[in-house]
Amino acid sequence: MVVGDFPIELDTLVVGAGPGGYVAAIRAAQEGQKVAIADKGSLGGVCLNVGCIPSKALIQAGHRYEHAHGADEMGIKSENVTVDFSKVQEWKGKVVDKLTGGVEGLLKGNKVDIVKGEVYFVDKNTVRIMDEKNSQTYTFNNCIIATGSRPIELPNFKYSDRVISSTGALALDEIPEKMVVIGGGYIGTELGTAYANFGTEVTILEGQEDILLGFEKQMRQLVKKKLKKKNVNVVTNAMAQGVEEGENGATVTYEAKGETHTVDADYVLVTVGRKPNTDELGLEQVGIDLDDKGLIKIDKQCRSNIDNIYAIGDIVTGPPLAHKASYEGKIAAEAISGHASEIDYHGIPAVVFSEPELASVGYTEAEAKEAGYDVNAAKFPFAANGRALSLNENDGFLKLVTRKEDGLIIGGQIAGANASDMIAEVGLAIESGMTAEDLALTIHAHPSLGEITMEAAEVALGKPIHSM
């Protein structure tokens, strides 16, 4: 502590200003708490700055470029389509700036004090926050830790000019001619698809038996079919062994089917998971319990083993999803305020912005059976929907998982155009305890993709109109 460093007292300190942290800070302030939020980086965290938002902007730009080439089957032809990638990056930056500026306005509007600097715990009620010039002590009644995660670096693929993380992939100043993606999870698939749409020759190396293993096989098959059309080479059961870097590119060595192969690339994108940011906070000073992955152990109110310290987002168990972090942030802030709020992950959707988009919420058919439910699985294809046909988006389906005894909706999966938006209705149905009959009786606009949900519900009831 420096001389003159008088502690600033708070009701609640939020450490980390990503989608979990800033939401928690706003909700805590709405509950009447005196709140400060601290982060050494930019407001909005990884999600807004180098994750969810810029990646979706890049994906959308890739879609526009691909679509600009026309569609012969619709009678549309286009020649000499070009892309100014510096302009793409400039536009992407404007999207990010608008959202991060909005977060700052929301925090200030809710009277949350924004503190820039690195946080280090002194004890269970005290932290020291340091920037390049100053050190300030803060004391608090409660603290919510929301420090997020960072990309895992492989020992044989150290990050460099040619070996990049997702952050680096979003900041390239050129469209690569060739790219190798190590890891076929959602980040690798999304970014690999985005660059393939810009014309990059992409190779995805996945160490497991398939890409996107968190989703059902039939959903994965649709994505692989699209990737193949884009000339993306997907190699599964492939173990990346090393990389040789040159001035203008790199060569990756990998093993597959007992044989060693090499593939050249301008850039090597490593997307093999993320590591929680819990190792530089001084948590050992407080005695917070971590698991073997460095995740903070929490209860159903996001409380750690230290009763006034809470943890949310990528630093606790579960998938590293921004909407999960925001949800947990609200729960933690409300728990601090004395509410009986508890986490319930059953209604949290998982989405991949692949082609087609994939989305899932609640139980899959297999998970429901493993949990002991007797279920029906009702599917309706996009190809039987007028709006999907008019969009030329015929591939895909929606599946509803319902309990046989009463038709209660306990899960849903969507593979198809706008699945990321459509999954919300299924999530609402699960959260609200709705049945297939409730969805079937809800009048959906025609023609719309939303009708697919209604049609699947009618299939579940055994009374489909537009399918046999």
Residue 430: CB atoms within 10 Å: 21
Q: Which tokens go with 292?
A: 């073997």
- How far, rounded to the nearest angstrom, does the alpha carbon of residue 22 sit from its chain's CA centroid? 17
What is the gyration radius of the CA atoms in the chain, in angstroms?
24
Secondary structure in 3-state letters for 380-447: EEHHHCHHHHHCCCCCCEEEEEEECCCCEEEEEEEECCCHHHHHHHHHHHHHCCCEHHHHHHCCCCCC
CA-to-CA distance for 297 and 309, rounded, in angstroms? 11
**Can you give the pLDDT at residue 34?**
98
CA-to-CA distance for 55 and 146, rounded, in angstroms? 21
Active-site entry in 67, 69, 346, 446: 446
Give the DSSP H or E segment for 227: helix 217-229
Beta strands in 89-158 (DSSP E): 113-116, 118-123, 126-130, 135-145, 149-151
β-strands 135-145, 309-311: how paired? parallel
**Can you give the pLDDT at residue 1?**
42
Answer yes or no: are the C-beta atoms of 51 and 321 closer than 8 Å. Answer: no
Task: Tell me the domains of the chain and their CATH numbers.
Answer: 8-151+275-345 (3.50.50.60), 163-272 (3.50.50.60), 356-460 (3.30.390.30)
Q: Which residues contact 216 (CB under 8 A, 6 or more apart)?
A: 360, 364, 365, 366, 413
CA atoms within 13 A on the CB side of 214: 16
Q: Which tokens go with 240?
A: 């990346």
Backbone angles phi, psi at 411, to 5 degrees: -175, 165
The DSSP bridge partners found for residue 10 are: 140
Q: Which tokens go with 202?
A: 């992409």
Give the DSSP H or E segment for 452: helix 451-460
Q: Which residues contact 342 (CB under 8 A, 6 or more apart)?
A: 300, 301, 331
Amino acid at 248: N
Would you state the torsion angle of the CA atoms of residues 169, 174, 178, 184, taken in this order, to the nearest 10 degrees? Answer: 20
- For residue 55, which of 382, 420, 415, 325 has the smallest C-alpha distance? 420
- For the chain, give the number of residues: 468
Q: Which tokens go with 215?
A: 């989703």
Collapsed DSSP state (helix, strand, coil) of residue 114: strand
Per-residue pLDDT 10s for the chain (468 aa) are 444 479 999 999 999 999 999 999 999 999 999 999 999 999 999 999 999 999 999 999 999 999 998 788 899 888 889 999 999 999 999 999 999 999 999 999 999 999 999 999 999 999 999 998 889 999 999 999 999 999 999 999 999 999 999 999 999 999 999 999 999 999 999 999 999 999 999 999 999 999 999 999 999 999 999 999 999 999 999 999 999 999 899 999 999 999 999 999 999 999 999 999 999 999 999 999 999 999 999 999 999 999 999 999 999 999 999 999 999 999 999 999 999 999 999 999 999 999 999 999 999 999 999 999 999 999 999 999 999 999 999 999 999 999 999 999 999 999 999 999 999 999 999 999 999 999 999 999 999 999 999 999 999 999 999 988
CA-to-CA distance for 84 and 90, rounded, in angstroms? 10
CA-to-CA distance for 56 and 65, rounded, in angstroms? 14
Angle between helix 217-229 and helix 186-197 axes, rounded to 10 deg? 30
Please give the C-alpha separations between residue 418 and each of 70, 119, 228, 388, 421, in angstroms, as whole numbers.
20, 40, 21, 10, 5
User: Any idea which residue has 């608090």 for tokens?
Assistant: 140
CA-to-CA distance for 140 and 161, rounded, in angstroms? 42
CA-to-CA distance for 467 and 455, rounded, in angstroms? 8
Concerning whether 261 is annotated as a catalytic residue, the answer is no
Q: Which tokens go with 274?
A: 């993320």
pTM for the model = 0.95
**Can you give the pLDDT at residue 132?**
87
CA-to-CA distance for 186 and 202, rounded, in angstroms? 15
- For residue 147, which of 9, 343, 14 has the smallest C-alpha distance? 14
Q: Which tokens go with 149?
A: 């995660």
Backbone angles phi, psi at 242, to 5 degrees: 180, 175
